[in-house]
Chain A
Amino acid sequence: AQSVTQLGSHVSVSEGALVLLRCNYSSSVPPYLFWYVQYPNQGLQLLLKYTSAATLVKGINGFEAEFKKSETSFHLTKPSAHMSDAAEYFCAVSGGRETSGSRLTFGEGTQLTVNP
C-alpha cells in the first residue's frame, strides 16, 4: 500500500529562517504527491502538488517542494518563515494502481511554530 512518513511531528523556526518540512513516500508506482496546510480550526487547503511534470513544484505563499525519486522524498521548503505560516502541514500521496488520483493517503502531520 502507498504511504507517507513525515519526519518530525513538531518543527519550530524563527521568523525569517528557512522552513524545511520532511516527507518520504512509499509507492510501487509513480505517485502523485501533495502538501496541504491546516490553520487552526479550519479545513485543509492545498499548498502544492506533484503530478509527474516538473520535479520542483512551486505553491502558494512562497512554498515549494522538490520530488526526488532516488530518495523517495518530497520535502517542503520556504526560504523565509512568516508568523502567518504557523499551522499544521500534511503530506499526502495518491495515484497508480493502488489508488486513484483523488484517493489520498495522508502523513501524520507536522505542526510548524514560528517564533518572533
Chain B
Amino acid sequence: NAGVTQTPKFQVLKTGQSMTLQCAQDMNHEYMSWYRQDPGMGLRLIHYSVGAGITDQGEVPNGYNVSRSTTEDFPLRLLSAAPSQTSVYFCASSYSEARPYEQYFGPGTRLTVT
C-alpha cells in the first residue's frame, strides 16, 4: 500500500492564482480530512469527508473548497490564493469517522503565496 499520497510536495503561487492540492489513499478509508500547519498553532482542520459525496467544513474553511467523488481521492482547491494561505497542508485518512481509529497522514504540501 502507498498509504496517503499528496502532490505536489512544494508549490509557489502568486496572490489571486488558483490551484488544487491532490490527496489520494489506497486503504479504502471512509474518512478523509485536510489540515493546515502553521508555526505555534498546531494543525487546524480545514475540511473533512465521511464518505464519497459527503463533505463538511472544519475550523478554518474560508478560501478552500473540497469535493469527494470517489473513496480514494479528496482534492483541496484554493480559489484565489492569499498570502495568509502560506502554510504546510496535510491530508489524512482513517477507517471511519465514528470511532477513534488511527489517522494516517500524507507527507504534506508546502505552499508559499507571494
Contacts and interface: CB of A to CB of B under 8 A. Distances in A.
Contact of A94 (B90, B92, B100): B100
B97 A100 contact: yes
Interface in A95-110: 95, 100-109
Majority secondary structure, B binding face: loop
Contacts of A32: 100
Chain B, interface size category, equals: 20 to 34
Contact of A90 (B43, B48, B58, B106): B43
Majority secondary structure, A binding face: loop
Interface in A15-56: 32, 34, 36, 41-46, 49, 51
Interface residues of A, number: 25
Contacts of A108: 40-42
A9 interface: yes
Contacts of B45: 103-105
Nearest to B94: A102
A102 B4 contact: no
A104 B103 contact: yes
